[in-house]
Chain A
């Protein structure tokens, strides 16, 4: 069966019935095969690829493309397994890499293997190959699902942590892991108990977007060290004192200069009046409709999160930053403290409602 004897339309139809993991392998068959992929309507499929994820868990890295409601697994990257002998070698961005094809979850998937000392170079080569294969407009994310292996420093790669509930977070190991990571784009973590307090200087607080579930009582106070843009925190308890301190630090311009949104949901009631009074909140005319604060999310998994924007904060109360007159809406409602920073001065903000 000679593929190249088929008319172009048939070749294209065959390629339409393949997955990205197949196309990836096809691209290594020959230059002509690669050209066929590039000249076919597959490039439209490639155009639908907006992000590529590296998910690292249990010693393996799973490379997938998020699509609507699923992640299409395209490749795995793992340490060489001496018990296997069916490897084949491929030249990936000028580096010879051992591969095998595995069958898992009803799907064939190629696996690229590395020797313990060449992990970084294999990742680099694979990453470079993706840049050529998918083009430069794709966003790349590395998701660490544990803190065993540092996130590699790769070109155009956003580092993220997505860690499930862990009974005890080994803070020393976790802090060490974070210190070796690039600045994090996104952290989604559940923390039940910690072996030690988190350092206020931790790189953890530099993450652009944090989503946390906290059972550990000391951590909400640590949020005063947050330097990123958006934070969503569910916690056992959050004291009024911490929230007041947070707002006052923002108002004085002492901290949180990049902050766009902070949302803290407590399991206990929040002292709304006490907090609003202490932060000297200003009030709109209740006869007018206050503007809704909405922002594009810093990060979202396009496969499972269809909402590109944050939930609106519609509030009659706001505070003003002393240093630049920037406004933040404040809403304390249903055990939740919402703080949304506007890209507007107080005058500009008030004009919206006129």
Chain B
């Protein structure tokens, strides 16, 4: 439902194409905003769909952009992969103005995609989608032994945690010693 195109600059994105909207046309002309991720592909999304994201909704609610200004200033989310942002935009469009169902079966099944999606959704503050994603993450370890849970969620063993902690302490000690030496050098 979203429109996308490869943009070269966030300041001057090319004209995005608009996908056909659902049959029931809104009475009041809907305003649109533009977002892009790491891949600079610009997505045109309605304000209604973006309401799912508390972060974006907060950003746009006081902007009062005209259509032209919105097009010229897409929101850049450089920390979100393009395909992940696409998923988020699709979800927001699909659930625009609708009550969210108790479950969502269209979430990615691959661990890494889901991991990135959770981070993106958390960043964009999309509460319902975050709940679905977290449920899915929890489902991944249903019926698993602690060892399998450790593998799926990549949880370090106690020994690994202890080693990492020692290493961190050592590094912090070295840094502190370096700073002291530098300060002493400066004093001379």
A22, B148: Cα distance in complex, Å: 12
In the complex, what residues of A have CB within 8 A of residue B134's CB?
Answer: 10, 13-14, 16-17
Determine chain B's interface SS by DSSP, over half rule. Answer: helix
The verdict on A123 contacting chain B, using a C-beta distance below 8 Å, is no
Report the Cα distance A30→B157, complex, angstroms: 6
A296 adjacent to chain B (CB < 8 Å): no
Q: How many residues of B contact A (CB 8 A)?
A: 32
Q: Does A26 contact B (CB under 8 A)?
A: yes
Quick one: closest B residue to A9, CB to CB? B122
* Cβ contacts under 8 Å, A90 to chain B: 146
CA distance A7 to B119 in the complex (A): 8
Are A14 and B138 interface neighbours, CB within 8 A?
yes
B155 near A10 with CB under 8 A, answer: no
Contact sample, A vs B, 12 pairs, CB 8 Å cutoff: A1-B111, A1-B112, A2-B153, A2-B154, A13-B130, A18-B138, A25-B144, A29-B150, A30-B158, A32-B156, A90-B146, A99-B145
Q: Which residues of B contact A70 (CB under 8 A)?
A: none
A1 lies within 8 A of B152 (CB): yes
For the complex, is A28 an interface residue (Cβ under 8 Å from B)? yes
The 7 closest A-B pairs by CB, nearest first: A108-B143, A3-B153, A17-B138, A13-B134, A28-B146, A1-B115, A1-B111
Q: Is A6 an interface residue (CB 8 A)?
A: yes
CB-defined contacts of A33 to chain B, threshold 8 Å: 155
Q: How far is the CA of A151 from the CA of B14 in the complex (A)?
A: 76
Assess whether A32 is in contact with B146, with CB atoms less than 8 Å apart.
no
List chain B positions with a Cβ less than 8 A from chain A.
111-112, 114-115, 118-119, 122, 130-131, 134-135, 137-147, 149-150, 152-158, 161
| Interchain CA distance A33-B153 in the complex, whole Å | 11
Does A284 make an interface contact (CB < 8 A)?
no
Cross-chain contact A17 with B135 (CB below 8 angstroms): yes
Q: Are B146 and A13 in contact (CB under 8 A)?
A: no
Given contacts A30-B150, A30-B158, contact A14 B137 (CB under 8 A): yes
Tell me, rounded to whole Å, the shortest Cβ–Cβ distance linking A144 to chain B: 29
The B-contacting residues of A in range 1-54, CB under 8 angstroms, are 1-7, 9-10, 13-18, 22, 25-26, 28-33
A108 lies within 8 A of B142 (CB): yes
Q: Let me know if A191 is at the binding interface, CB within 8 A.
A: no
Extra inter-chain contacts (17) besides given A25-B145, A29-B155, A99-B145, CB under 8 Å: A1-B111, A1-B112, A3-B153, A3-B155, A5-B115, A6-B118, A6-B119, A13-B130, A13-B134, A17-B134, A18-B138, A22-B141, A30-B150, A30-B155, A32-B158, A90-B146, A103-B143
Complex Cα spacing A29 to B146, Å: 5
A30, B156: Cβ atoms closer than 8 Å: yes
Check: A174 CB closer than 8 A to any chain B CB. Answer: no
Q: Please indicate the chain B residues that have their CB under 8 angstroms from the CB of A103 in the complex.
A: 143
CB interface residues, A 103-154, toward B, < 8 Å: 103, 108
Tell me the complex Cα distance, A231–B135, Å: 47
Cβ contact within 8 Å between B156 and A7: no
How long is the Cα–Cα vector from A324 to B145 in the complex, in angstroms?
61
A1 pairs with B122, CB closer than 8 A: no
With the chains together, A16 CA to B114 CA distance in Å? 18
Return chain A residues, CB-CB under 8 Å to B130: 10, 13
- The answer to whether A31 touches B142 (Cβ under 8 A) is no
Best-surrounded residue of B122, B145, B149, B152 (most CB of chain A within 10 A)? B145
Q: Is A7 touching B152 in the complex (CB atoms < 8 A)? A: no
Residues on A with C-beta less than 8 A from B145 are: 25, 88, 99, 101
The complex places the Cα of A243 from the Cα of B27 at a distance, in Å, of: 81
The residues of B that contact A4 with a CB separation of less than 8 Å are 155-156
Beyond A10-B118, A14-B138, A22-B138, whether A1 also contacts B153 by CB under 8 A is yes
Asked whether, in the complex, the Cβ of B155 is within 8 Å of the Cβ of A101, the reply is no
Nearest B residue to A4 by beta-carbon distance?
B155
